[in-house]
Structures are given as structure tokens and as C-alpha cells.
Amino acid sequence: MAAWRGSQRKGDTPLSRVAATLDGMTITDEDCLPETLAFNEQFEAAAASRPARGPAPSAATLALLRRNRLGGDRPPVRLPHGRDRVVEGGVKVRVFAPDHVDGVYLHIHGGGWAFGSADGQDERLWRLAGQARLAVVSVDYRLAPEHPFPAGPDDCETAARWLVKHAGDEFGTDRLMIGGESAGAHLSVVTLLRLRDRYGITGAFRAAHLLFGPYDLSMTPSQRSFGPRRLLSNTDTLRGGYELFTPGMGAEERRSPEVSPLFADLAGLPPARIVVGTEDPLLDDSLFLAARWQAAGAPVRLGVVAGAMHGFTLFPLAITERELRRERDFLVSA
């Protein structure tokens, strides 16, 4: 995939031509390109100084990834504002509830279905809870490879059904939203589809906020063509993650709508905001999902962040602060 250099004539980029056919698509933050691209180069240079890992992480690497915060080399900071509990069905969640709550956001963390945790982003989730006046309920779903598909989706479904039934009693509101990052975005869409298909539940969640998710586990063209660039995720690491999550499945099995929501009927899903960076191997996943979401009749906003790599919101960048504000504004308005 060619790197975005901002050299195309303004208004005549490949993505702008896609935007002309998809309502609500915005290419954002081109004014931040110098910082964003410089960070990408620094990230790749630092990665090149470390031994390359194979497609699937070793047990030692996986243990390290689980111990540290996503994208970092230190454990995450746990805040006292977070409350751990086990909800109906035995699923663990972490709850952030400010004094005044106008809605509930079911958050599903990323980490390739194999690492990450509900307490891995306390600072960000507590900030969102306070600014948006939301109770944030983050799902601590079971992780692969110890618990492969469908364990993670099962846990997210259980947490979502608990909220549908009990949000009013627990939080004083039935205004629900759902969303997540990377694997968490994938699980968010899978959860909405399961609620619709298994229980006839539509409309309970008013909005979906989906950051740089993988929606085709048989691999979209951008996933296949990204190659070995070490920008947090690449072609090989995606393949390795899919093998951990869906061991033994071939490409055709991974195209099942239960595994890859890009192939599902998306009718009846709520309005969505879908975000991805131009330097993300999952770029096509978001472009294709947004087009299918819109074709199914639901409003969708597609934000494509110029120069951004996969997982960019984990890092202290100008585009991160802007994206967190856009996330807040979307959830407040839902």
C-alpha cells in the first residue's frame, strides 16, 4: 500500500473520489500530516530495531502483550473510578459511571481477540464517561487462543443482553450505544447482528462507534497488499490473529457472516460512525463496511484519517485528540 503523502491535488485524491459516491465520508486531519507521518517513521524505525516476531505471537510475547497497555511497554494505569463486577451470565465488566448519566456506552476493547482488557484504557474511558455523561461498561471478554471463537462473541452478546434488560434499573436510562477499537469494533458489529438474528432485538442500541475494525477475516485487498510494514499491524500479524481467534478455519469458513460481518445482511442496524486511517491494513474493511451499512438503509459517517496507522488513538498525537473529541460528540448526539 502506498503511503499517504498528501501530494495529490486537493480534492482529487483516490479517497476523495470514493467519497463522492458515499454520503457522509470525510477525509480528515490532512493539516496534521507532518506530525502523523513523522510519528509513523519513528514507530517503524523503533520496530525495525527489535527482532521481528512471527505471524502468531509466542507464549512469551503474548504474556508481555497482555501485561502491558495496548501499544505500549508498561502496564496500564488502573483508576479507582472503575468498578469491576460480574453481570448476569457470568461475564466480567468494568464500569465507569459519573454522577450524572444520560446514556450507557457498551465498550469492547481491541487486542486481536488475544490480549487487551477491560481495565486497559481506564484514563480514556473515565474521561469519555465524564465528558459525555455516559456510564461506560467495558467487557472483559474471554481471550484466544485459550478461548477461541465463539467465546469472545458469546461474552459480548451476554453483556449486551444484560444491558438491554437492566440498564434502566442499573443506570437510570435505556439510551444505549455500542462500540470499540480494532477487534472490539468487529465484536461490536457481531454483537448487534446476534441481538437481531437470535432475539429479534433491533433499536435497543441507538448508535455504533467503530474504530479501525477487521470485518473480513478472509482478508480484504488492503489487508493482503499491506505487506511487512511494522505499523502496529500488518499482513502477517493479521493472519496470525485470525488463526488464534478462529483456529483451523479456512478462508471460506471465515467468510461466514457470524465470523466476518462484512458478509452479513446489515439491515436494521443503528446509525454508525466508522473510522480508519489511510496507513492501516484494515482500510478496505471500513470503506466496504460503510458502503454496505449505507446500502442497508442506516445512516453512516465514515471518517478516514490522513496518514494514520492502525491503533493511532493509542498514541499522543494531534489526530488522537481530535478523534476522541469526535467520538464524544457522536455519542452525545446519538
State the Cα–Cα distance between residues 299 and 170, nearest whole angstrom: 29
Q: Among this protein's residues, is 107 annotated catalytic? A: no
Instruction: Give the list of residues 6+ apart from residue 95 with CB closer than 8 angstroms, or none.
Output: 82, 83, 84, 85, 135, 136, 137, 138
44, amino acid identity: E
Beta bridge partners of residue 290, listed in sequence order: none
Q: Among this protein's residues, is 216 annotated catalytic? A: no
Catalytic option among 117, 138, 182, 218: 182
Query: Using CB atoms within 10 A of its CB, is residue 133 exposed (0-12), middle (13-18) or buried (19+)?
Result: middle
Listed in sequence order, the DSSP H helices in the chain are 14-19, 33-48, 59-67, 122-132, 151-171, 183-199, 221-225, 235-245, 251-254, 283-295, 318-333
Instruction: Give the closest residue to 89 by CA, choosing from 27, 159, 7, 168.
Output: 159
What 8-state DSSP symbol labels residue 212?
S
Catalytic option among 140, 155, 280, 285: 280
State the Cα–Cα distance between residues 227 and 281, nearest whole angstrom: 9
Contacts 24+ apart (CB under 8 A), 20-24: 22/287, 22/290, 22/291, 22/294, 22/302, 23/294, 23/300, 24/294, 24/299, 24/300, 24/301, 24/302
Q: Among this protein's residues, is 58 annotated catalytic? A: no
Point out the residues that are catalytic: 182, 280, 310
